[in-house]
Amino acid sequence: MNILVDGPQGSGKSTQAAMLAFKLKVPHIQMGEILRNISLINDSKTVEVIKEAMNKGELVPLEINATLVNKRLRLNDCKNGFVLDGFPRNDQQLERLESKLDKVFYLKISDEEGIKRLLLRKRADDNEETIKQRLSIYHSQTEPVLEIFRQDGILEEIDGERSIEEIHTDILERVKQ
C-alpha cells in the first residue's frame, strides 16, 4: 500500500509516518530528510539551490524535488509499498509523482499549535519567520491538493491535536478499512 501522511508543518506527520511505516514494514520516505541529507547529492549547484530555498522557508524547485523522490521510490524496498511525507506539496509535484497513492492521511492542526510545536524542537531552520512562511505556502499550495485526494476518494482527515498514540491508533484503524 502506498500511503501519504500530510499536514502542515508541526502536525506530527513525520512521527506518524515513521510509526505507520514501522507497523506496515515498509520504508518511510521523508522529503525533508532527503533534502537535509544533501551531502549525498554530488551536484554542488543543486546543493546550493536546496540550501537557499530551505533557509528562506521556500519550496525546493520542482525538478529537484520530483527527481529525488521518484528516484527513491524506484528502489527495491518500495516495491511492496511505502509511507511518504513531505511530497507532493502542490499540484505540479503531484503531477510529477510516478507512484500511485492508495491512501492519504491529513493531520489537521491549527497554525498556532504548529508554530508552538516547531519552536520547541529547536532545529536550525525553525524560527518563527520561516515557520510562518512555510505555513503560508502550505495553505496556498498544498491544501488545494487535498481536494484532489478527496475527489479521488483516498483522503482521510485526522484530528492532529490529540496525543501521538490516539492519532496512531486512528490511522491504523483507517488503514485496515
Tell me the CB-side half-sphere exposure of residue 148, using CA atoms within 13 A: 15
Give the chain's residues under pLDDT 70: 39-40
The pLDDT value given to residue 47: 86
The pLDDT value given to residue 98: 96
Q: Which three cell numbers stand for residue 156?
A: 482521510
**Is residue 144 classed as helix, strand or coil in its secondary structure?**
helix
> What's the structural domain count of the chain?
1
The pLDDT value given to residue 108: 97
CA distance 74 to 148: 24
The pLDDT value given to residue 73: 95
The pLDDT value given to residue 46: 85
The pLDDT value given to residue 51: 84
CA distance 169 to 89: 25
Q: What CATH number is associated with residue 65?
A: 3.40.50.300
The pLDDT value given to residue 53: 86
pLDDT for 52-66, tens place per residue? Answer: 888 887 778 988 999
Q: What angle do CA 171, 173, 177 make, to 5 degrees?
A: 110
The pLDDT value given to residue 39: 59
- Beta-carbon neighbour count of residue 132 at 10 Å? 15
| Domain interval for residue 91 | 2-176
This prediction's pTM: 0.88
